[in-house]
């Protein structure tokens, strides 16, 4: 294989990117996986807690749950692909290829299938509540030994090489050099947008790079207004950490500062209502009473979730007295618009995982479907991607990268993005706030543009990507006047009633 000109260039190294690499390598393609992370923790996959949902031979019931959680806004054809292929993909890759040791059930049952909000069946495979790292680490190790796959870490993509609607690879920055890498097909698997918000469950590098690069190259995006907030994130010492929905699946309840359970009055499924409903209720209870805690006293938390017990303790939180929680940004349901094989609107460009909008999630994602979507779409895109010829007419040159912006300049730009997004493009939005957000983000985008000059280092391009994607979210939110799922538009000053149901 030619490392500088692979058949398939994958950008990103979470489950979606690694599955795409595996899918392409199985077709005999040469694959380069370029990732700006230098450690597994740089990918959101590593952080995933609850698990990965499977169909357990009942794809129809699984499909109904996904569609209901999305308020029937997901694309049934995409959901059908996911639910029909879930069991086989998990068995093939995770169990038989990577030997992931999912928790066993009692009485000799091979698996302990967990339950999370809005699932009508126990169907979530997990390893304690740290499933992501138990998938991600063996996956990286497996591909590191694969003869057709090269993993280039510490290598950030700063732009796509696109000509006349055809994507021909990407510009990659590594060790102070910015060089073109041409490829038959390019697969974006760059993850989410957590850096746009003050509090997120994503790792720090989630700046929306792939979405911004694709949009700049002219690819279609869709559903960008549907930013999912997780209802139970603990921010005990300023450092947010997720408290998995599996904890509510086990029987934990939410209480306000007066000790009152508020979810039964909000939804028939109480704490196990769809995630968007619980997140808004937690935010309101927090505003009303000053605190919300997750009460785990109905079961043995330490024995059931030893990893989460340790995580709480490492942040100075004693779960037995209630875990303080708030909603925080968790997942972008929209992204680069792709079909059921991950093909975007540009020839030679694919997108998988959180940066892609497959149509599976619609306006609100069902819990524990993101690893599954990354796996299934990654394999499908990887199998389809080797069909493209290598691009002709290569004219880009390598350059040395210039100086980065001063740390204060970078920090203050991110502070401004986060302040705008938190105030105007969060869990509850108003038309006026969205208009203000767009104005402020356009001003900021013009200010940061010089930091993304052709020879700028990755941090400058990342900042520009964060601005571009924030604006895409705010614009999409402003264009959608209907409150549905994660996108909830209220009148200014309103206590929580949507403008339109």
Q: Which positions lie near ligand SIN, rule CB under 6 A?
A: 49-50, 244-246, 367-368, 370
Whether 207 and 427 have beta carbons less than 8 Å apart is answered as no
Residues 210 and 464: their CA atoms lie apart, in Å, by 12
Q: Which is nearer to ligand SIN, 74 or 401 (by Cβ)?
A: 74
Q: Which is nearer to ligand SIN, 242 or 459 (by Cβ)?
A: 242
User: Which H or E run includes 423?
Assistant: helix 407-424
Q: Which is nearer to ligand SIN, 196 or 467 (by Cβ)?
A: 196
Burial of 122 (0-12, 13-18, 19+ CB in 10 A): middle
Among 115, 148, 248, 275, which one carries the catalytic annotation?
275
What tokens does 178 get? 């910015």
Smallest separation (angstroms) from ligand SIN to the CB of 245: 3
Q: Which is nearer to ligand SIN, 50 or 203 (by Cβ)?
A: 50
107 C-beta neighbours (distance < 10 Å), count: 5
Residue number of the CB atom closest to ligand SIN: 50
DSSP string computed for 124-190:
EE-STT-HHHHHHHHHHHHHHT-TTEEEE-S-EEEEEEEETTEEEEEEEEETTEEEEEE-SEEEE--
235 C-beta neighbours (distance < 10 Å), count: 15
Active site residue 123: no
Q: Which is nearer to ligand SIN, 83 or 490 (by Cβ)?
A: 83
Q: Which is nearer to ligand SIN, 229 or 350 (by Cβ)?
A: 229
Closest of 127, 29, 104, 19 to residue 356, by C-alpha: 19
Residues 131 and 207: their CA atoms lie apart, in Å, by 24
Smallest separation (angstroms) from ligand SIN to the CB of 228: 8
What tokens does 446 get? 């013009």
Q: Which is nearer to ligand SIN, 155 or 244 (by Cβ)?
A: 244
Between the CA atoms of 410, 411, 415 and 421, what dihedral angle is there, to the nearest 10 degrees? 50
Smallest separation (angstroms) from ligand SIN to the CB of 486: 13
Order the strands of the 335-337 sheet from edge to edge: 221-222, 335-337, 356-357
Smallest separation (angstroms) from ligand SIN to the CB of 332: 12
Task: Output phi, psi for 323, to 5 deg.
Answer: -95, 120
Smallest separation (angstroms) from ligand SIN to the CB of 123: 13
- Side-chain half-sphere exposure of 420, counting CA atoms within 13 A: 28
Cα 477 to Cα 211, 224, 315, 334, 489, distances in angstroms: 16, 7, 35, 11, 9
What tokens does 188 get? 């974006």
Whether 262 and 293 have beta carbons less than 8 Å apart is answered as no
Smallest separation (angstroms) from ligand SIN to the CB of 51: 7
Smallest separation (angstroms) from ligand SIN to the CB of 246: 6
Please work out, in degrees rounded to the nearest 5, the angle formed at the alpha carbon of residue 395 by the alpha carbons of 28 and 185: 25
Q: Which is nearer to ligand SIN, 29 or 52 (by Cβ)?
A: 52
Q: How many helices (H) and strands (E) does the chain have?
A: 14, 20
Smallest separation (angstroms) from ligand SIN to the CB of 116: 6
User: Which H or E run includes 258?
Assistant: none
Catalytic residues: 275
């Amino acid at each position: 294989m030619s490392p500088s000109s692979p058949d398939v260039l994958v950008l990103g190294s979470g489950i979606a990117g690694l599955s795409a690499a595996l899918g392409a390598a199985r077709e005999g393609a040469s694959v380069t996986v370029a990732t700006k992370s230098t450690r597994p923790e740089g990918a959101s996959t590593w952080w995933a807690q609850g698990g990965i949902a499977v169909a357990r031979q009942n794809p129809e019931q699984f499909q109904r749950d996904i569609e209901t959680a999305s308020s029937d806004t997901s694309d049934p054809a995409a959901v059908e692909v996911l639910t029909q292929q879930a069991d086989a993909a998990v068995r093939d890759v995770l169990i038989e290829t990577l030997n992931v040791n999912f928790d066993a059930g009692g009485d000799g049952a091979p698996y302990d299938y967990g339950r999370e909000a809005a699932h009508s069946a126990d169907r979530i495979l997990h390893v304690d509540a740290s499933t992501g790292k138990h998938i991600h680490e063996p996956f990286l190790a497996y591909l590191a030994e694969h003869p057709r796959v090269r993993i280039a870490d510490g290598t950030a993509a700063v732009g796509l090489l696109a000509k006349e609607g055809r994507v021909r690879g990407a510009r990659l920055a590594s060790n102070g050099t910015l060089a073109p890498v041409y490829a038959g097909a390019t697969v974006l698997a760059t993850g989410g947008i957590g850096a746009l918000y003050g509090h997120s469950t994503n790792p720090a590098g989630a700046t929306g790079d792939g979405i911004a690069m694709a949009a700049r190259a002219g690819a279609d995006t869709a559903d960008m207004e549907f930013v999912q907030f997780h209802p139970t994130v603990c921010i005990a010492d300023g450092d947010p950490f997720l408290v998995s929905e599996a904890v509510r699946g086990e029987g934990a309840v939410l209480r306000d500062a007066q000790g009152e359970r508020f979810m039964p009055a909000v939804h028939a499924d109480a704490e196990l209502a769809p995630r968007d409903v619980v997140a808004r209720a937690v935010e309101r209870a927090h505003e009303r009473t000053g605190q919300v805690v997750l009460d785990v006293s109905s079961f043995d938390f330490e024995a059931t979730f030893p990893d989460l017990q340790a995580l709480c303790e490492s942040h100075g939180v004693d779960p037995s007295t209630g875990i303080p929680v708030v909603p925080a940004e968790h997942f972008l349901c929209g992204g680069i618009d792709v079909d059921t094989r991950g093909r975007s609107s540009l020839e030679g460009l694919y997108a998988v995982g959180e940066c892609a909008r497959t149509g599976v999630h619609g306006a609100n994602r069902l819990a524990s479907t993101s690893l599954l979507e990354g796996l299934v779409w990654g394999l499908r895109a990887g199998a389809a991607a080797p069909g493209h010829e290598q691009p002709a007419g290569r004219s880009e040159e390598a350059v040395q990268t210039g100086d980065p912006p001063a740390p204060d300049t970078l920090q203050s730009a991110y502070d401004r993005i986060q302040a705008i997004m938190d105030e105007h493009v969060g869990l509850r939005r108003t038309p006026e706030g969205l208009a203000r957000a767009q104005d402020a983000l356009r001003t900021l985008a013009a200010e940061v543009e010089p930091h993304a000059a052709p020879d700028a280092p990755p941090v400058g391009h990342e900042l520009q990507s964060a601005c571009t994607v924030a604006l895409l979210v705010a614009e999409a939110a402003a264009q959608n006047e209907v409150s549905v799922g994660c996108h909830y538009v209220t009148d200014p000053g309103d206590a929580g009633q949507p403008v339109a149901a």
